């Protein structure tokens, strides 16, 4: 699961999916691989037959319209009541639209891994179940990690990413060869997302000298991390002197450095639950890049800092007020994001 079954041949992955449905209480009918007509497995339960199409794709290779068409045709060919399309990646927008119109149920990697965890891992993530990364386990590691900061950024092609700056510290008296293998973001409701990339110019591989700290920058899709929670975790996988290590970093609620207590967006933080939530970071960037540059904007900021702490405290302790605040703030976030994109494109 950590590598999305990439170490498993496609046919073996189909067999695993068949076993998964069997262990979930379905009667399974395997399809001959030579001519499957777009369907890999047929399962039955409660007098209903469901056709299953499986694609073990890499994360960047998304399922398209032609794949959905095959699944629709396979459902008719095998006279099934339903069809489910399972992939270890995701679906294009066009594929999702076609699936909705043709009644194809879609399971992307997030959906599938949650179901697998529910059947085999007691609802826990792979890392939590096998104990490969438990918060607080860094004391015995040669390298420790800590989240320094987080923010959203709009990059080339209007791609929006959530960037986590992470400090890696060599606590030993020896120089260590280190390489970052990857990172996984795990939400409190057990969704997990792999990092999309590393920001250029930061540490990815090399020597970390004794008692020294380097900084890396992890990029996750903002579309996935719509809401960042303090108890979310980042699992960082490292290769240190040819041995693999996994470190767990709790996202938490970072406190602003001394002298920067007014950097937070109080009401937005109360509404979205974290100072590193993408929505909060977007508003903060908009404030610094646009509002703060005018006299009227600075006057508004001063007034906001005067009235918002008490208001934020009131909102933070009331879930209904949090939902209402998110509804009010969301249009402002949309305007802020468009404004930041315009500023970025003009540079």
Q: What is the pLDDT of residues 200-251, one digit of tens each?
A: 778 888 899 888 888 898 988 888 887 778 888 898 989 999 888 888 888 8
pLDDT exceeds 90 at position 299: no
Average pLDDT, the chain: 82
Strand partners, 184: 194, 235
The counts of H helices and E strands in the chain are 9, 14
Give the model confidence (pLDDT) of 124-153 as tens digits: 766 565 554 444 456 568 898 988 888 777
Considering only CA atoms, which of 232, 154, 140 is closest in space to residue 186? 232
**Tokens read off for 193:** 């997302």
**Tokens read off for 203:** 């540490």
Give the model confidence (pLDDT) of 14-45 as tens digits: 889 999 999 999 999 877 665 667 799 999 99
Average pLDDT of 321-330?
89
| Full set of structural domains in the chain with CATH | 10-123 (3.40.1350.10), 130-250 (2.60.40), 261-346 (no CATH)
Return d(Cα 343, Cα 155) in angstroms, integer.
12
Q: H or E stretch including 314? A: helix 295-316
Return d(Cα 211, Cα 169) in angstroms, integer.
7
pLDDT at 72: 94
pLDDT band at 296 (very low <50, low <70, confident <90, very high): confident
Return d(Cα 271, Cα 285) in angstroms, integer.
17
Determine what percent of the chain is predicted with pLDDT higher than 70: 85
Considering only CA atoms, which of 109, 117, 106 is closest in space to residue 65? 106
The Cα angle at residue 232 between residues 265 and 17, in degrees rounded to 5: 140
The residue ranking higher by pLDDT, 277 or 88, is: 88
Considering only CA atoms, which of 111, 60, 59, 61 is closest in space to residue 85? 111
pLDDT exceeds 90 at position 315: no
Give every CB contact of residue 196 below 8 A, 6+ residues apart in sequence. Answer: 161, 219, 220, 221
pLDDT exceeds 50 at position 79: yes
Query: Exposed, middle or buried, 9 (CB in 10 Å: 0-12/13-18/19+)?
Result: exposed
Specify whether the CB–CB gap between 106 and 85 falls below 8 A.
yes
pLDDT at 154: 67
Q: At what angle do helices 93-102 and 65-77 cross, to 10 degrees?
A: 20
Most confident by average pLDDT, 33-42, 218-227, 268-277, 324-333? 324-333
From residue 281, alpha-carbon distances to 67, 74, 90, 334, 336 in Å are: 37, 46, 26, 13, 10
């Amino acid at each position: 699961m950590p590598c999305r079954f990439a170490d498993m041949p496609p046919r073996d992955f189909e067999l695993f999916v068949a076993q998964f449905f069997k262990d979930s209480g379905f009667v399974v009918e395997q399809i001959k691989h030579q001519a499957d007509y777009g369907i890999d497995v047929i399962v039955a339960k409660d007098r209903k037959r469901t056709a299953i199409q499986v694609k073990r794709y890499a994360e960047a290779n998304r399922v398209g319209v032609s794949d959905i068409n095959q699944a629709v045709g396979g459902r008719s060919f095998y006279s099934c009541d339903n069809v489910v399309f399972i992939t270890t990646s995701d679906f294009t927008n066009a594929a999702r639209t076609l699936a909705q119109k043709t009644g194809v149920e879609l399971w992307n990697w997030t959906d599938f891994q949650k179901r697998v965890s529910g059947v085999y891992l007691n609802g826990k993530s792979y890392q939590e179940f096998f104990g490969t990364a438990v918060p607080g386990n860094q004391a015995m590691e040669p390298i420790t990690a800590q989240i320094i900061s987080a923010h959203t950024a709009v990059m080339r092609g209007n791609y929006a990413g959530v960037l986590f700056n992470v400090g890696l510290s060599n606590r030993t008296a020896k120089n260590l060869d280190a390489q970052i293998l990857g990172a996984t973001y795990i939400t409190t409701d057990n969704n997990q997302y792999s990092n999309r990339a590393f920001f250029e110019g930061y540490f990815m591989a090399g020597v970390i000298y004794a008692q020294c700290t380097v900084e890396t920058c992890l990029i996750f899709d903002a579309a996935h991390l719509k809401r960042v929670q303090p108890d979310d975790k980042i699992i960082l996988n490292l290769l240190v002197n040819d041995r693999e290590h996994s470190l767990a970093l709790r996202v938490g609620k970072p406190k602003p450095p001394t002298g920067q207590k007014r950097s937070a967006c109080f009401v937005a933080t109360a509404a979205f639950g974290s100072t590193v939530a993408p929505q909060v970071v977007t508003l903060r960037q908009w404030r610094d890049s646009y509002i703060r540059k005018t006299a009227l904007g600075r006057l508004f900021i001063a007034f906001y800092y005067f009235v918002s702490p008490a208001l934020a405290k009131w909102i933070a302790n009331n879930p209904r007020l949090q939902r209402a605040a998110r509804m009010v703030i969301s249009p402002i976030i949309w305007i802020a994001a468009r404004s930041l994109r315009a500023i970025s494109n003009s540079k």
